Homo-oligomer: A and B are copies of this chain.
Amino acid sequence: MNLVVHTDEFAYLSLETLENFIYDVMVGVGVPKNDSKIVADVLIASDKRGIDSHGIARLKMYYDRIKKGQQLPTTKLTIERETPGVAVINANNGIGHVAAKRAMELAIKKAKNVGISMVAVGHSNHFGIAGYYALMAVEEGMIGICGTNARPAIAPTWGTEPMLGTNPFTIAVPTDWKFPWCADQATSTIQRGKIETYARLNKKLIPGWVIDINGEPEIDPKKTLSGLAEDAAALTPLGGVGEDLAGYKGYNYATFVEIMSSVLQRSSFLKACRGVRNGKDVPFDIGHFFIVVNIEAFVDPDTFKKSVGNLLRELANSKKMPEARHIYIAGEKEYAAFKQRSKEGVPISRETQKEMLVMQSELELTKYKFDFHV
């Protein structure tokens, strides 16, 4: 359990060390062992896939929220409604990852019986990468679809106020490639976690990702993060500012995800998901939804995988721009990251190193000997 490689900017830790550390931190703040395993599995899946924003880099956020009582360490799930194809689950302000995993398990079971299913979760918390849950369906040979609302971030078209969460609408599909097709993506142009990554690395944002209170481009990641909390900055929806390049389509998809994550489960939406009321921390009260399509109810699963594989090969082999070297399919970069990180470990930024040392010290996790240069 030690440092693997070290550069000025990053320290490299093995996936195994990171996963153990996440588990120990969760257990340390009172999360039951089995639930801590789930959180560690979801977070490490993000680091494995090269999504630096949603793995170890987010551990301190959960740690802080649990410590100050904003979300509970234990997750008591209540099924409020149920039919053969759907269910509504109340997560009672427990751990989002645990609620989401259980919800997806239930959705998979229901889809096996009726061909398609949907489970809605309300009164929950941030659940990590949406792709984790969509990929659970793929493990069972099915199509997984999921979404969640989140703290307000996106402004509607012609608006400047952060209203909608980054609201991923995420899909995973089995293929005959070495990896599933997986579009794990926010309905904003850029997700909040990527801005956090840019802030940690002191990099400027690309104009078009964020607008300030006048609708002008904002390129400072730290001003963006504080601005999102104070209505002084907002993320653009997919398609960007205004209507010329169809920003209203991203705004509409974000609204769809907000509706599907809140109203069906009588959970909160938009500004009420800020986690703060009258200057006090309150539960985020967000929700999620999980849809599973059972392929074998439609077509022979092997035929499906082969045909999807052909479809993706046709895309990957189509004509490229003169300067382009490769046409990617969704999940391909994540698979490449996984292969690399299995060997080389995960790059940990200086900011995250500092956060890890704080958690290690506060929880007295003395078995870890991190050789961090911070």
Q: Which of B83, B155, B264, B294 contacts A318 (CB 8 A)?
A: B155
Chain B proximity mask over A284-319: 1 for CB below 8 Å, otherwise 0: 000000010111011100011001100110110011
Interface status of A17 (Cβ within 8 A of chain B): no
Interface status of A23 (Cβ within 8 A of chain B): no
Residues on B with beta carbons closer than 8 Å to the beta carbon of A244: 206, 208
Q: Which residue of B lies closest to A249 (CB)?
A: B185
Contact in complex: A158, B86 (CB < 8 Å): no
Contact in complex: A304, B264 (CB < 8 Å): yes
Interface status of A150 (Cβ within 8 A of chain B): no
Residues on B with beta carbons closer than 8 Å to the beta carbon of A266: 299, 303, 307
Contact in complex: B156, A271 (CB < 8 Å): no
Interface status of A88 (Cβ within 8 A of chain B): yes
Contact in complex: A160, B264 (CB < 8 Å): no
Residues on B with beta carbons closer than 8 Å to the beta carbon of A260: 143
A189-B239, A231-B319, A315-B270 in contact; A173/B115 too (CB < 8 A)? Answer: no
Q: How far is the CB of A363 from chain B (nearest CB, A)?
A: 37
Determine the distance from Cα of A88 to Cα of B326 in the docked complex, in whole angstroms. Answer: 35
Contact in complex: A171, B256 (CB < 8 Å): yes
Q: Which residue of B lies closest to A183 (CB)?
A: B252
Contact in complex: A173, B299 (CB < 8 Å): no
Contact in complex: A163, B314 (CB < 8 Å): yes
Contact in complex: A298, B252 (CB < 8 Å): no
A159-B327, A263-B299, A270-B311 in contact; A291/B321 too (CB < 8 A)? Answer: no
Q: Which of B86, B183, B271 contacts A314 (CB 8 A)?
A: B271
Residues on B with beta carbons closer than 8 Å to the beta carbon of A161: 318-319
A246-B190, A299-B88 in contact; A160/B320 too (CB < 8 A)? Answer: yes
Q: On chain A, which size bracket covers the interface?
A: 35 or more
Q: Which residue of B lies closest to A209 (CB)?
A: B245
Determine the distance from Cα of A299 to Cα of B169 in the docked complex, in whole angstroms. Answer: 22
Select the stretch in A1-9, A116-124, A345-353 that faces chain B.
Answer: A116-124
Determine the distance from Cα of A103 to Cα of B314 in the docked complex, in whole angstroms. Answer: 29
Determine the distance from Cα of A323 to Cα of B216 in the docked complex, in whole angstroms. Answer: 12
Determine the distance from Cα of A215 to Cα of B159 in the docked complex, in whole angstroms. Answer: 31
Q: Which residue of B lies closest to A333 (CB)?
A: B248
Interface status of A282 (Cβ within 8 A of chain B): no
Determine the distance from Cα of A249 to Cα of B190 in the docked complex, in whole angstroms. Answer: 10
Interface residues of A in 181-231 (CB under 8 A from B): 181, 183, 185, 187, 189-190, 206, 208-209, 213-215, 231
A86-B115, A185-B252, A308-B259 in contact; A215/B322 too (CB < 8 A)? Answer: yes
Nearest first, the 6 closest Cβ-Cβ pairs linking A and B are A86-B115, A85-B114, A183-B252, A215-B321, A158-B324, A83-B115
